[in-house]
Amino acid sequence: MSFTRRQILGGLAGLGVVGLGVGGARYWLGRTLDARTHDYELIAAPLDLELVSGYTTPAWGYGGQAPGVELRSRQGDWLRVRFINKLDEPTTIHWHGIRLPLEMDGVPYVSQLPVLPGEYFDYRFKTEDAGSFWYHPHVSSAHQLGRGLVGPLIVEEREPSGFRHERVLNLKTWHVDQQGAFTAFSVPREAAREGTRGRLSSVNGVSLPTLDLPAGQVVRLRILNLDNTVTYRLNLPGADVRVYALDGHPVEPRPLGKEYWLGPGMRIELALKVPAAGQELPLRNGPLRLATLKSVPSNEAPGEWPAALPANPVAEPDLDKAQVLRFNFEWAATLVDSSAPGRRSHYWQINGKAWDIDDKTCADRPIARLQKDGHYIFELRNMAQYLHPIHLHGMAFKVLSSDRRDIVPYFTDTYLLGKNETARIALVADNPGIWMFHCHVIDHMETGLMAAIEVA
């Protein structure tokens, strides 16, 4: 595969350096210098955070914050981001859930060459779908995402949605100790099981925040799981709350129910009817509080439930003519000799093949070749007892059924495949390219659970 080298060395004079700390510039904030070429200047750079009070964590951020600065676009518009790498290692940006051309997908050696330190790369694509998406590197993911390189990308509906208020809640746990120092992002023993968890939970980079919401209003809560490992068992006891969208695609509004399992990479949009001023609601992961939603006085007239959000323009798979492909997600630790020096361990595989994260040629051997505009049903089978949020780049798919739970069919880019579950999903292969198909538990992805799917 060949690449046009769009990134340019050096020549970044005039960029705004903000936040001079001891020892010089520590973080950078992006602002648009030339609106003719891009809408955002997004800089990845080291960023000192105080995650544990009184201690400094040497994190990495986008746009001077971690999770990264919120990018916004409108459905049908172009989003143009000049990405500048101020880290001391190569990176890329992948736009999770966005249906875009392969050259913009951010996969190193498949979409583009890695963006080297000091270089920039112009990402440009049309945002066809409205919804809650996110962005992150696709290079050295365990530590780049772990250090804070994750951020929200919100695509607003073309026409007003009926929501007057909204909040974006970025969920992430940090792999830090009691003094804020980073601990291992990936521990082999954990990678071979559920993945390596961070110790410190956070919402928008803050542990246990209180978020003020206007009393009596209906607020759109966009909850994004930007974590490497954790599946959040979301619940809001006592709240009058409905689900409006899953992973960037609308659903018919329905009650949240007891608990929703939001796997790594997944998003949910809720509408919350905020109770009377002074009341508080806990947002929880199982029994653990993540944040407190606090109702504050509002002098607006009480809000009503908005209508369902308009569907995104995703092609509807024709199940009668669809071809069925089977994918088994297996635990493989016993099959590969991981003791060889310099080799990374492979604990996981798809249909008997483990992806080697250090082998740049893996994408030349796709696990499946789909015909452009062909209709497909994928049968996803989890042969293990650990959760796998299965994610596909480049195209949305429709979840049809599961042998473990009732499914109201919906479009998504990530499906949380439960313990020993078999699920069926369907799609129209309408985007040509070589698309990554992987588990979004980063530890699993980096130890084998990834494949390429070719559409041509």
Residue 94 touches ligand C2O, criterion: CB under 6 A: yes
Query: Which range of residues in 32-40, 234-242, 380-388, 436-444 is near ligand C2O by CB under 6 A?
Result: 436-444
Residue 344 touches ligand C2O, criterion: CB under 6 A: no
Q: Which 241-270 residues touch ligand C2O, going by CB under 6 A?
A: 265
Least Å distance, CB 129 to Cu ion, is 13
Residue 438 touches ligand C2O, criterion: CB under 6 A: yes
Rounded Cα–Cα distance for residues 291 and 26 (Å): 29
Residue 444 touches ligand C2O, criterion: CB under 6 A: no
* Partners of 378 in beta bridges: 325, 425
Rounded Cα–Cα distance for residues 267 and 300 (Å): 29
Site size with ligand C2O, rule: CB under 6 A:
10
Rounded Cα–Cα distance for residues 151 and 170 (Å): 8
Least Å distance, CB 443 to ligand C2O, is 14
C-alpha 206: how far from chain center: 19
Q: By rule CB under 5 A, what string of x and - marks binding of each residue 415-444 to Cu ion?
A: ------------------------x-x--x
Q: Which does 138 bind (CB under 5 to 8 A by kind): ligand C2O, Cu ion, none?
A: ligand C2O
To the nearest 5 percent, what fractions of the chain are helix, strand and coil?
A: 5, 45, 50
Q: Which long-range contacts (CB under 8 A, 24 or more apart) does 123-126 make?
A: 123/79, 123/80, 123/81, 123/82, 123/83, 123/93, 123/95, 124/38, 124/78, 124/79, 124/80, 124/81, 125/78, 125/79, 125/95, 125/98, 125/100, 125/101, 126/76, 126/77, 126/78, 126/79, 126/100
Q: Which is nearer to ligand C2O, 362 or 436 (CB)?
A: 436
Residue 393 touches ligand C2O, criterion: CB under 6 A: yes
Backbone angles phi, psi at 427, to 5 degrees: -155, 160
Residue 172 touches ligand C2O, criterion: CB under 6 A: no
Residue 436 touches ligand C2O, criterion: CB under 6 A: yes
Binding residues (CB under 5 A) for Cu ion: these are 96, 388, 393, 439, 441, 444
Binding residues (CB under 6 A) for ligand C2O: these are 94, 96, 136, 138, 265, 391, 393, 436, 438, 440
